[in-house]
Amino acid sequence: MGRTGFVLSILLLILTIAIMAWTTHLYSIGAVIFTIVWLASSVGLYLDAGWGLPLTIIILSASMVWLIYDVAVVGGVLLAALLFLTVLAQITCMTTIETA
């Protein structure tokens, strides 16, 4: 995917967060949309650097907790942690791919 894929995945993430903010009363739908878009936009970059399975598990676990409890505070905390991990992983993957 390279740099273009990284930029596209960030743009898709921003779009997804905007959709989630627009549907604040529908946390379950936001979690589903977030999971689908983020996995679809990032899976190639993760697999290239071996991040595919761990991050897929993290994303799906966070989304399932969000779907089960449907609580804004829990969802917000999980989303913040998830975004930190995925952005950190993307930066690491991009650096690893470019230096290899």
Enumerate the domain spans of the chain: 2-99
| Residues 42, 21: Cα–Cα separation, whole Å | 21
The predicted model gives 6-35 an average pLDDT of 62
- In one-letter notation, the amino acid at residue 16 is T
In the predicted model, what is the mean pLDDT of residues 86-96?
69
pLDDT band, residue 83 (cuts 50/70/90): confident
- C-alpha span between 10 and 30 (Å, rounded): 17
List Cβ neighbours of 17 (8 Å cut-off, separation of 6 or more): 34
pTM (2 d.p.) = 0.30
